[in-house]
Structure 1
């Protein structure tokens, strides 16, 4: 735990000054972090991962209001409803208060996630003090987590990974690492196990981290011959973990599935054993080393590497064993995730917080390496560079890149609000790669029927379907967009073949690379009625350019 005094002494070795370091007020830190993350949540205007909406808010909206698209994962029982239930409860509360309308309904889930993000920041700060027992290092950790572009970009998004990262650092803070004197109470073990169980329910792959820690703890207790502790730890894990799984299954049955389903088993069977996750892309083994970690840590990478190297080299000293356990854990997580073919940056998010203290240790050594550290222009330049680089990346990713797909849904909501009973009915078709935009959770209107919308799907090959021969709806559409639309409209109206959608939403790339599509739109009576900037570049060519809305009204 952090020292309770208002100031402390922090030395760096013989020959160096020992400045007085003031301990930050815990209450002020918490209030400041909550305020900062709430502002952070409001400033996020862009799209990152479909799961932020389709695996969280859309499911919560479906539970609360009875409509909202459920992707294939929910139809085969791959995911627990626990994470979406957080937002379902929020939606229910807003509905009862008559507040389920307008921008506040859209921002509310992210504001809730902002509270978890603030907890993640705070426990990263506390964990740093537990690791190094150095207030300066803890303070620098707080600075680094707040300044992190990735945290600003991702921590307040309603991704299960974001909540997993915050809960993981809390559980690590209370975990009884072997060979350390801190955190060894039975209450801490139970609390850590309970929080760890929640992370594994949110994200079954979180078990990769916790199985390593549990195995390391048991092995250490065996070496020490502490058989009673082994029995207690094993029973605690079985009771708390098993109880959490059963409680989660009951929640799943009650809120969504209406039958007993063991989602962690289904998740591993479908994604790992059957390899369905590969349908959504695979990457080489080095991807996390060449892209994942550099993206996650950004300009902090050199600081993390230097701090980690120093910790590995220190065989003795304050908490040397604890530091190495954290580093071994991080290496294990990267190694196992690298062995899995489907990779995404956000999967490594849980190791960001525990590694930031090592970057902070590098910072405190850099700044305390001379008695004139406050006046050192070169050292001040380092801080300025950290803030500027992170600030530019945070600004671009949260306010600019992939903004149009969010803005267009706000436009859809407000356009739907202005339609009276005497007007032509609105309906929207999204001619985009699947899950390119938010869905009903972003166009919800109080006391209004859901506006008809459809999108081009991309469900994977399930069951006995041959993956090599399988084509999803997106594949078929992009092979010949005009033929796809002609076929679709003729099925709906065999006599005239006329469209039913009053609006079609698409990326600019579709009409620039397929001129026949523009001709088809003109022939069907569509004209461009709205345009939203989306991105300057995109790794998926189908998503390049502005977001366009074509109307017949």
Structure 2
């Protein structure tokens, strides 16, 4: 008992942080956070919502939005009608998943650096800036990466190969269900097992993954009318046809250089020589490192690139390097040296979150949308200085009222909203169109960060 309570405290405290940050801040790393999970779930639960084009052609599966929809129905039963309240309810399974990921990081490091090393590695992973930013978000990358860490830790074990293979295969399958791009890591993990002649683990990993695949096929059959419809549509759109690059743009391989180097903590480079020495001595590449390398090659070779695609690789690299960091820190002779070096390493891990992901999370806008639509008198909302896919959708409005977005007062949406008396609430970013809104009868009723909230009778 004395051995486990510090670990439980670490898992509980550090595991809660990403969800607390996401719920308190709101906002979005990318529109997919809203329109590929929250908004489809809202549509399923309430019968209305904005469905992105992927949900009309069957490019996504309904697994994660389906779970979220059931939680939203539970929120109604529990009278959780405030967007922050039901967003917090959705975070509960994410907290459990994140704690599972941190437990896996601990187990992976404990086998290499002992109990104290495992605890320190857990801290290094849990306080890694990109993890704090991403892990509480409803992005495919966030959910899938947690499953990948769990899977790779399980497949790395040498004891109880049947259980290790089944758990690893199950988690790999769920990682693909959450995000089809993670199939690259799955293939890399299977190649690694085959290269190491770990045939029993490989066989049961395939068995565990097969169970998830059959479930996905049945789900697609029930929702899209054909087994694995969403997976094949995804592969065709993103890999075979080149439509993703034509529709969303293509970037050169150097696109990932800055987010890669700025996204990794500084301590990572300090342990690289130790990691290289270990690989030479054992003639083996650690599973997370191998999978991260294969995944990096794959996304670099893919024409369409986004910074968020790097997140799984960064986390797997940190997972692979954390045991070496723990050994480096705990190997210091004096307690002062250990505490100082450890604190410096954790500080650099936190700092990486300042650079990755780049861009504006717009949390103040989402909080302003919630504030503007809470009272019963809100019958329509106009969001100024934001496009449709950057806004929070019906999920954060929380009721079935008309809403639209625009950039400038001369836009058709702005002019239509000024004439339509149902639009009696407005949110404007950085004060754009304030004069025109006032001229149409709106008055300022509050400010949330850079957002101004207006209402008219």
TM-score, normalised to structure 2's length? 0.85
> 2:343 — aligned with what?
384
Q: How does 1:101-250 map to 2 (within 5 A)?
A: 101=82, 103-130=84-111, 132=112, 134-175=114-155, 182-183=158-159, 185-221=161-197, 229=199, 233=202, 237=206, 240-250=208-218
Aligned-partner SS, 1:321: coil
Q: Once the two structures are superposed, what CA deviation does each residue of 1:463-503 show, in whole Å capped at 9, x if it has no partner?
A: xxxxxxxxxxxxxxx6x7615347x63xx9xxx96675223
Q: Distance in 1 between matches of 2:139 and 2:267?
A: 23
Q: Deviations along 1:374-405, whole A, 9 cap, x unmatched?
A: 133xx54333333445556769999x963212
Q: Name the residue aligned to 1:402.
A: 362
- In structure 2, the residue matched to 1:460 is none
Q: Does 1:507 align with 2:423?
A: no
User: Which structure 2 segments of 5+ residues have no match?
Assistant: none
- Measure, in 1, the Cα distance between the counterparts of 2:372 and 2:134: 25
Structure 2 equivalent of residue 34 of structure 1 = 12
> Counterpart in 1 of 2:267?
300
Do the aligned partners of 2:59 and 2:230 also contact (CA within 8 Å) in 1? yes
Deviation at 1:196, TM superposition (A): 1.0
* 3-state secondary structure, aligned to 1:505: strand
Q: Residues 232-274 of structure 1: CA distance to partner in whole angstroms, max 9, x if unpaired?
A: 956973x6545433422433454x5466561111111122333
Measure the CA separation in 2 of the matches of 1:346 and 1:183.
35
Q: 2:236 aligns with which of 266, 269, 280?
A: 269
Which of 445, 451, 454 is equivalent to 1:547?
451
Q: Give the structure 2 partner of residue 374 of structure 1.
A: 335
* Contact map agreement 2:329 2:342 (CA 8 A) in 1: no
The number of aligned residues is 450
Tell me which moved more, 160-169 or 426-435. 426-435
Pick from 340, 348, 354 the counterpart of residue 310 of structure 2: 348
**Residues 41 and 287 (structure 1 numbering): CA distance in 2 closer, same or farther, change over 3 Å?**
same
The answer as to 2:387 corresponding to 1:411 is no
Q: Distance in 1 between matches of 2:60 and 2:181?
A: 12
Q: Return closer, same or farther for 1:413/1:250 CA change in 2, 3 Å cut-off.
A: farther
Which position in structure 2 is the counterpart of 1:482?
Answer: 410
Q: Distance in 1 between the 2:352 and 2:212 partners?
A: 38
Name the Cα RMSD after superposition. Answer: 3.5
Contact conserved, 1:429 with 1:453, CA < 8 A, in 2?
yes
| Unaligned ranges ≥5, structure 1 | 1-5, 7-23, 420-424, 457-477, 512-516, 534-545
Give the deviation of 1:71 after TM superposition: 0.9
Q: Which has the higher helix share?
A: 2
Q: Equivalents in 2 of 1:100, 1:503: separation in Å?
A: 19
SS in 2 for 1:211: helix
Indicate the structure (1 or 2) with the bigger Cα radius of gyration: 1
Does residue 288 in structure 1 map to residue 235 in structure 2? no
Residue 366 (structure 1) shift? 3.4
Question: Is contact 1:138–1:357 with CA below 8 Å preserved after alignment?
Answer: no
Contact 1:91–1:100 (Cα < 8 Å) also in 2: no
Matched position secondary structure for 2:382: strand
* Contact persistence 2:251–2:305 (CA under 8 A): yes
Is the Cα contact below 8 Å between 1:141 and 1:360 reproduced in 2? yes
What is the CA-CA distance between 1:304 and the residue it aligns to? 5.0
Cα pair distance change 1:382/1:35, threshold 3 Å: closer
> Does the residue aligned with 1:182 lie in a helix, a strand or coil?
coil
